[in-house]
């Protein structure tokens, strides 16, 4: 071996699934200067060990390239994370209401309790949403705002008072304030035909001061690291203003405190002035400006407001307005002339057809010629339009929105239509770049394992089977979309997404073997050791000694202090989530059974939790 460079870190005795076709598996990797130095077997890789090299024994754990969300609203989500109570993965409405009640008691005036996305009623044992009476009983004095997907929001009486909605308040454009027989608002807000009423009402709530927004963003990144995420592409978003709302991530980047790599897109902010927005930004921001931790990635996911192809399967498909093509053409023509990559939100094939008409027209006059561009979502894209995307050199970023809205889609369009929504396999067969993500935080959950479960099992979070076997992805392909596939969407496919020599040293060591566990267990996987650029950014369980210092929660009453993220067991249960495989009959974490015996957790709680994961031993 000619390369005798000394490693900063060596991970050995692992089961590395590299996604590198020249070396798909390895048991040891060496890292130096933030990149993989060597990947292979211990005998070869250990030659890079020096006196100061840290060596970590993975004890047979499975390791994968760091996950990369190709469409995540991380910047906006981070600013608000410490304000929000998470219902992701909560198994019952009774639990959700208990959590809400407890948080209302902790929340000081004039702050709100906010449940903003990542859940639906089908995940609950009760299979229903909370009622307004239940919200008012749980929080009689503290304002409560509960967002349900992008179709409605529930406000208790205290929240109605806080936002000032009363009998005289008119319905805003694009939304409905539901009223009782006397004309008084009930607390239900309906997005019809777009989500502006939901955005605008949520924006009336108090914000965190800058110091606490920094803390909030760090906690959100730490939560993403817990789930194995090491990179994300921020797709912009409503009420996310540039550059004001980006100062927190820019400060964290400058202070070397980012633990998730961020490539950000710029989302138009002024209806009727979209072209002016992008003209200003192309004059002041260079494509790729930044570094491997924080960099500019182009335009979108909104290019013009008239092309807002709003997804709400409780409502009929929206028809985009006449004149959309002219407005979109002006912006796309400008972006292509400036060689700015762009992405565009599009749910329905009918909208995609009209958008592609514009793209093809511009391409005839100003050739795209390899310019990176993509559609986001594309749930109902047709085979013809897949071919048109391929011909123009585009990509498609898909998300697991159907895991949260699949039941509604089936109700409106039928189970047959849902079988290929979105048609991911057809996209891949056509040779189109495909990257996976979540579109979190206001609709689907940010948990990548919920998304991977959906891709592999074809099921919603409520358990409805959407896809037949032929439309589902095998586990290797699904993981590829979440790693190397997503790297294409930030023009970084040669830098990240694989465990290979010379690539960025981003990886996650898993709590269970993703490639072997039963399908239902995929959604319970976490990372027990997450590394970004060779830095240990998260560790738990057997690797807890490697964990970075804890981050205090600001403000102290934040929901994150009690409910730090996507639902997980109570502390005694969490201590049992050690990454050991069962050596008994059931095949599910036998070591955890013994841990439970020595904990104060009730046997019934532990049985229910592991029973949901397929354990049948209950040998306590």
Instruction: Find the mean pLDDT for residues 425-441.
Output: 97
Distance CA 608, CA 606 (A): 5
- Please provide the DSSP assignment of 201-265 as one string: HHTTS----HHHHHHHHHHHHHHHHHTTEEEEEE---TT--TTGGGHHHHHHHHTT--SSEEEEE
On the question of pLDDT at 581 being above 80, the answer is no
Task: Render pLDDT for 183-207 as a digit per residue (tens, 0 to 9).
Answer: 999 999 999 878 889 999 999 999 9
On the question of pLDDT at 571 being above 70, the answer is no
Task: Render pLDDT for 135-176 as a digit per residue (tens, 0 to 9).
Answer: 999 999 999 999 999 999 999 999 999 999 999 999 998 899
By the 8 A CB rule, do 444 and 118 touch? yes
Instruction: Find the mean pLDDT for residues 544-556.
Output: 97
The pLDDT assigned to 2 comes to 52
The pLDDT assigned to 542 comes to 97
Task: Render pLDDT for 282-316 as a digit per residue (tens, 0 to 9).
Answer: 999 999 999 999 999 999 999 999 998 888 899 89
Phi first, then psi: what are they for 506, rounded to 5°?
A: -115, 125
Domains of the chain: 72-202 (3.10.310.70), 212-490 (3.20.20.140), 570-612 (no CATH)
The pLDDT assigned to 235 comes to 95
- What angle, 0 to 180 degrees and rounded to 10, lies between the N-to-C axes of helices 448-457 and 402-413? 40
Q: Which residues pair with 62 in a beta bridge?
A: 15
The pLDDT assigned to 192 comes to 86
Neighbours of 314 (CB within 10 A): 17
Secondary structure (H, E, C), 276-338: HHHHHHHHHCCCCCECCCEEEEEECCCCCHHHCCCCCCCCCCCCCCCCHHHHHHHHHHHHHHC
Instruction: Find the mean pLDDT for residues 453-463.
Output: 98
pLDDT confidence tier of residue 617, bands split at 50, 70 and 90: very low
The pLDDT assigned to 576 comes to 37
The pLDDT assigned to 239 comes to 80
Answer with the residue of higher pLDDT: 407 or 602: 407
Q: Of 272, 269, 349, 285, nearest to 317 (Cα)?
A: 349
Counting every residue written for the chain, the total comes to: 620
User: Which of 179-183, 349-353, 573-577, 596-600 is predicted with the least confidence, judged by mean pLDDT?
Assistant: 596-600
Task: Report the mean per-residue pLDDT for the chain.
Answer: 92
Q: What angle do CA 164, 168, 172 make, to 5 degrees?
A: 75
The pLDDT assigned to 310 comes to 82
């Amino acid at each position: 071996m000619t390369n005798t460079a000394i490693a900063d870190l060596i991970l050995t005795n692992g089961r590395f699934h590299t996604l590198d076709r020249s070396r798909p598996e390895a048991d040891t990797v060496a890292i130096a200067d933030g990149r993989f130095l060597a990947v292979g077997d211990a005998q070869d890789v250990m030659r890079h060990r020096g006196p100061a090299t840290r060596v970590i024994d993975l004890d047979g754990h499975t390791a994968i390239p760091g996950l990369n969300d190709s469409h995540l609203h991380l910047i906006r989500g981070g600013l608000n994370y410490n304000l929000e109570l998470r219902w992701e993965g909560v198994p019952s409405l009774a639990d959700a209401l208990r959590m809400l009640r407890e948080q209302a008691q902790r929340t000081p005036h004039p702050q709100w309790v906010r449940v903003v996305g990542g859940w639906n009623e089908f995940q609950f044992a009760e299979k229903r949403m909370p009622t307004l009476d239940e919200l008012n009983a749980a929080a009689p004095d503290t304002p409560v705002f509960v967002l349900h997907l992008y179709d409605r929001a529930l406000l208790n009486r205290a929240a109605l008072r806080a936002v000032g909605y009363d009998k005289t308040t008119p319905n805003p454009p694009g939304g409905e304030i539901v009223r009782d027989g006397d004309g008084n608002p009930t607390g239900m807000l309906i997005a019809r035909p777009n989500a502006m009423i939901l955005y605008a009402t949520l924006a009336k709530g108090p914000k965190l001061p800058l110091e606490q927004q920094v803390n909030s963003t760090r906690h959100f990144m730490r939560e993403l690291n817990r789930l194995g995420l090491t990179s994300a592409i921020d797709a912009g978003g409503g009420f996310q203003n540039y550059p004001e709302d980006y100062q927190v991530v820019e400060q964290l980047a400058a202070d070397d405190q980012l633990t998730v790599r961020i490539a950000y897109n710029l989302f138009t902010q002024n209806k009727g002035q979209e072209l002016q927005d992008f003209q200003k930004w192309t004059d002041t921001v260079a494509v790729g400006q930044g570094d491997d931790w924080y960099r500019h990635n182009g335009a979108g996911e909104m290019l013009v407001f008239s092309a807002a192809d709003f997804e709400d399967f409780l409502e009929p498909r929206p028809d985009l307005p006449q004149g959309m093509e002219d407005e979109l053409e002006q912006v796309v023509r400008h972006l292509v002339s400036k060689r700015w990559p762009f992405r565009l939100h599009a749910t329905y094939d009918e909208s995609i057809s009209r958008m592609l008409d514009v793209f093809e027209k511009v391409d005839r006059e100003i050739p795209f010629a390899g310019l990176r561009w993509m559609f986001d979502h594309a749930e109902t894209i047709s085979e013809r339009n897949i071919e048109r995307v391929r011909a123009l050199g585009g990509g498609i970023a898909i998300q697991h929105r159907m895991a949260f809205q699949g039941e509604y889609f089936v109700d409106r369009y039928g189970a047959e239509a849902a079988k290929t929504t979105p048609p991911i396999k057809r996209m891949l067969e056509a040779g189109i770049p495909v990257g996976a993500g979540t579109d979190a935080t206001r609709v689907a959950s940010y948990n990548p394992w919920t998304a991977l479960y959906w891709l592999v099992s074809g099921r919603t979070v409520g358990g409805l089977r959407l896809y037949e076997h032929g439309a589902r992805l095998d586990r290797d392909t699904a993981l590829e979309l979440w790693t190397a596939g997503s790297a294409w969407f930030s023009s970084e496919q040669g830098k990240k997404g694989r465990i290979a020599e010379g690539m960025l040293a981003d990886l996650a060591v898993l709590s269970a073997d993703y490639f072997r566990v039963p399908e239902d267990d995929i959604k319970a996987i976490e990372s027990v050791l997450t590394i970004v650029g060779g830095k240990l950014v998260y560790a738990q369980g057997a690797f807890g000694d490697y964990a970075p210092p804890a981050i205090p929660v600001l403000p102290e009453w934040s929901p994150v202090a009690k409910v730090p993220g996507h639902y997980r067991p109570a502390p005694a249960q969490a201590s049992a989530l050690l990454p050991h495989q069962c050596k008994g009959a059931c095949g599910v974490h036998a070591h955890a059974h013994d841990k439970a015996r020595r904990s104060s957790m009730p046997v019934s709680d532990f049985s229910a939790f592991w029973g949901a994961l397929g354990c049948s031993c209950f040998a306590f």
